[in-house]
């Protein structure tokens, strides 16, 4: 079993990023047996990386890109990714990713990429003005996965199509060159992944791009801000139902209960049984307590680390060394299979 996943390095991390992506990685790391330090075996390690090469598909000031990579690294470590147990790195420091992408460009088909919904969504009406990187983004993603012979790739629903393309590329490459070079990976969509909604509008997802800061819980929010945001979160005048089926049509209420569920480990039914009949005036302080309890330690670690550029770069350099070593045999195998090297 080889777990691998990447995340786009964006700034302003919020509760949605944590519950929707980062926490799943931490869980997978915890489920893997510790790497065998004595033999130096890397078999049981998870590979997690910042997709900074992917980020060039949209223009960004260089200083912002660098900052985002470091901030995301600090957030991952603060949330529990242990750089000694997992291999944590950024793509740009491991040239094998760019090399493998170029080799896979020979296998990927225009027709396959033309079907990718993320390109269509992101390019919108301006297809002619979109970067080539935005179009070939899924081929780089395939390179990321195939280089490490990943078997399990934890991702959100929206990345399933890219993983299917990765499988298609791997199968065609193996067949075209008559090799068994690439492991065929499986997307792994964790069951308990919460989709966290805005605190101001239960139909919009919590996002860094929402203009209202009151709509989201940031990983940097202090305790008072957390309490304020929960207190001011939009709800409806009805009490919490004793039966979770009655949450139907109450998006804001459902979202607060789901956030409570994500941190307490209880399901909606248990929470409704406990708070049924009570108003949000009683529920919100309990939710705020729970958030402060779980997020304060993460925030404190994050704030302590996020501006320590030297420490963050050292983590990434060390991770990149381990990643490059793990990727090298597959890259060599691809050059050889294609008759580019022997
Ligand atoms: P944003 O919407 O703030 O721009 P990104 O698109 O950068 O967030 O998402 C980074 C990661 O966090 C992705 O894996 C995405 O699935 C996850 N994520 C972002 N927002 C949410 C949310 N509201 N609920 C659950 N997961 C989310
Ligand atoms: N495209 C993914 C996203 O936007 C990030 C990513 C890049 C990734 N390379 C990957 C995820 C390889 C899994 C495996 O969320």
> CB of 107 closer than 6 A to ligand 2?
no
- Tokens linked to 328: 């090298």
Quick check: is 122 catalytic? yes
> CB of 206 closer than 6 A to ligand 1?
yes
Query: What pLDDT is stored for residue 39 in this prediction?
Result: 47
- Is 200 part of any domain? no
Looking at the structure, do residues 299 and 318 belong to the same domain, yes or no?
Answer: no
Q: Ligand 2 test: best mutation among 21, 51, 72, most atoms within 8 Å of CB? A: 51
Looking at the structure, do residues 249 and 329 belong to the same domain, yes or no?
Answer: no
Looking at the structure, do residues 165 and 297 belong to the same domain, yes or no?
Answer: no
Ligand located closest to 47 CA: 2
> CB of 145 closer than 6 A to ligand 2?
yes
What's the CA gap between 88 and 321, in Å, rounded?
Answer: 10
Catalytic residue (choose from 160, 208, 232, 332): 208
Contacts of residue 236, defined as CB under 8 A and 6 or more positions apart, other chains included, come to 250, 252, 253
Helix/strand/coil (H/E/C) assignment for every residue in the chain: CCEEEEECCCCCCEHHHHHHHHHHHHHHHHHCCCCCCCCCCCCCCCEEEECCCHHHHCCCCHHHHHHHHHHHHHHHHHHCCCCCCCEEEEHHHCCHHHHHHHHHCCCCCHHHHHCCHHHHHHHCCCHHHCCHHHHHHHHHHHHHHHHCCCCEEECCHHHHHHHHHHHHHHHHHHHHCCCCCCCCCEEECCCCCCCCECCCCCCCECCCCCCCHHHCCECCCCHHHHHHHHHHCCCCCCCCCCCHHHHCCCHHHHHHHHHHHHHHCCCHHHHHHHHCCCCHHHHHHHHHHHHHHHHHHHHHHHHHHCCCHHHHHHHHHHHHHHHHHHHHHHHHHHHHHCCCCC
- Buried b vs exposed e over 291-319: b needs ≥16 C-beta within 10 Å? bbeebeebbebbeebbeeeeebbebbeeb
Query: What pLDDT is stored for residue 158 in this prediction?
Result: 85
Query: What pLDDT is stored for residue 80 in this prediction?
Result: 97
Catalytic residue (choose from 122, 229, 232, 318): 122
> CB of 144 closer than 6 A to ligand 2?
yes
Quick check: is 208 catalytic? yes
> CB of 52 closer than 6 A to ligand 2?
no
Which atom of ligand 1 is nearest to 216's Cα?
Answer: 23
What's the CA gap between 216 and 214, in Å, rounded?
Answer: 6
Query: How remote is the CA of residue 67 from the centroid of ligand 1, in Å?
Result: 18
- Tokens linked to 195: 């989709």
Burial of 184 from C-beta contacts in 10 A (0-12 / 13-18 / 19+): middle
Which atom of ligand 2 is nearest to 162's Cα?
Answer: 1
Q: Which protein residue's CA is at the shortest distance from atom 8 of ligand 1?
A: 207
Query: What pLDDT is stored for residue 42 in this prediction?
Result: 55
Query: How remote is the CA of residue 109 from the centroid of ligand 1, in Å?
Result: 29
Ligand located closest to 161 CA: 2
> CB of 295 closer than 6 A to ligand 2?
no
Looking at the structure, do residues 186 and 313 belong to the same domain, yes or no?
Answer: yes
Contacts of residue 141, defined as CB under 8 A and 6 or more positions apart, other chains included, come to 6, 51, 54, 162, 165, 166
The CATH number of residue 68's host domain is 3.40.50.620
Query: What pLDDT is stored for residue 43 in this prediction?
Result: 61
- Tokens linked to 153: 């790739």
Domain housing 218: 213-303
Q: Which protein residue's CA is at the shortest distance from atom 14 of ligand 1?
A: 21
Looking at the structure, do residues 268 and 326 belong to the same domain, yes or no?
Answer: no
Whether the full predicted model's pTM is greater than 0.85, yes or no, is: yes
- Is 322 part of any domain? yes
Query: What pLDDT is stored for residue 219 in this prediction?
Result: 94
Q: If phi over 0 gives left and psi between -120 and 50 gives alpha, with beta otherwise, what is residue 46? A: beta
Query: How remote is the CA of residue 224 from the centroid of ligand 1, in Å?
Result: 24
pLDDT (tens, 9 = 90+) of the chain, 342 residues, equals 899 999 999 878 899 999 988 999 999 999 887 655 444 455 668 999 999 999 999 999 999 999 999 999 999 999 999 999 999 999 999 999 999 999 999 999 999 999 999 999 999 999 999 999 999 999 999 999 999 999 999 988 889 999 999 999 999 999 999 999 999 998 887 776 778 999 999 999 999 989 999 999 999 999 999 999 999 999 999 999 999 999 999 999 999 999 999 999 999 999 999 999 999 999 999 999 999 999 999 999 999 999 999 999 999 999 999 999 999 999 999 999 999 998
CB atoms within 10 A of CB 229: 21
- Is 199 part of any domain? no
Burial of 166 from C-beta contacts in 10 A (0-12 / 13-18 / 19+): buried
Looking at the structure, do residues 70 and 190 belong to the same domain, yes or no?
Answer: yes
- Are the C-beta atoms of residues 26 and 81 closer than 8 Å to each other? yes
- Is 316 part of any domain? yes
Query: How remote is the CA of residue 225 from the centroid of ligand 1, in Å?
Result: 21
Catalytic residue (choose from 205, 229, 306, 318): 205
How many independent structural domains does the chain possess?
A: 2
CB atoms within 10 A of CB 266: 15
Looking at the structure, do residues 59 and 107 belong to the same domain, yes or no?
Answer: yes
> CB of 5 closer than 6 A to ligand 2?
yes
Looking at the structure, do residues 19 and 76 belong to the same domain, yes or no?
Answer: yes
Q: Which protein residue's CA is at the shortest distance from atom 10 of ligand 2?
A: 6
> CB of 208 closer than 6 A to ligand 1?
yes
Query: What pLDDT is stored for residue 44 in this prediction?
Result: 62
Looking at the structure, do residues 174 and 92 belong to the same domain, yes or no?
Answer: yes
Ligand located closest to 49 CA: 2
Query: What pLDDT is stored for residue 223 in this prediction?
Result: 98
Looking at the structure, do residues 328 and 295 belong to the same domain, yes or no?
Answer: no
The CATH number of residue 261's host domain is 1.10.240.10
Query: How remote is the CA of residue 143 from the centroid of ligand 2, in Å?
Result: 11
Looking at the structure, do residues 95 and 182 belong to the same domain, yes or no?
Answer: yes
């Amino acid at each position: 079993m080889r777990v691998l996943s990447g995340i786009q390095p964006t700034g302003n991390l919020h509760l949605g990023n944590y519950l929707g992506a980062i926490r799943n990685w931490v869980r997978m790391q915890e489920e893997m047996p510790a790497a065998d330090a004595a033999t130096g075996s890397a078999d049981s390690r998870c590979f997690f990386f910042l997709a900074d090469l992917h980020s060039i598909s949209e223009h960004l000031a260089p200083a912002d890109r660098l900052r985002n990579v470091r901030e995301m690294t600090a957030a991952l470590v603060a949330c529990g990714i242990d750089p000694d147990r997992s291999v944590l790195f950024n793509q740009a420091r491991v040239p094998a990713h760019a090399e493998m992408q170029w080799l896979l460009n020979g296998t990927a088909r225009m027709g396959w990429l033309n079907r990718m919904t993320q390109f269509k969504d992101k390019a919108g009406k301006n297809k002619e003005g979109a970067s080539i990187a935005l179009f070939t983004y899924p081929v780089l993603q395939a390179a990321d996965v195939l280089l490490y012979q990943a078997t399990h790739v934890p991702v959100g629903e929206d990345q399933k199509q890219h993983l299917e393309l990765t499988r298609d590329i791997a199968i065609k490459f193996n067949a075209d060159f008559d090799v068994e070079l690439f492991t065929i990976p499986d997307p792994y969509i964790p069951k308990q992944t919460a989709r966290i909604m805005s605190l101001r509008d239960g139909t919009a997802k919590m996002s860094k791009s929402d203009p209202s800061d009151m709509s989201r819980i940031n990983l940097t929010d202090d305790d008072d801000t957390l309490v304020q945001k929960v207190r001011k979160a939009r709800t409806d005048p009805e009490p919490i139902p004793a039966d979770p089926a009655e949450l139907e049509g109450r998006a804001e209420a459902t979202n607060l209960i789901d956030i409570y569920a994500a941190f307490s480990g209880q399901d909606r039914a248990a929470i409704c049984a406990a708070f049924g009949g009570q108003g949000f005036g009683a529920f919100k302080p309990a939710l705020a307590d729970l958030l402060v309890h779980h997020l304060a330690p993460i925030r404190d670690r994050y704030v302590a680390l996020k501006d320590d550029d030297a420490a963050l770069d050292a983590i990434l350099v060390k991770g990149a060394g381990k990643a490059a070593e793990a990727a090298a045999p597959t890259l060599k195998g691809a050059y050889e299979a294609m008759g580019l090297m022997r």
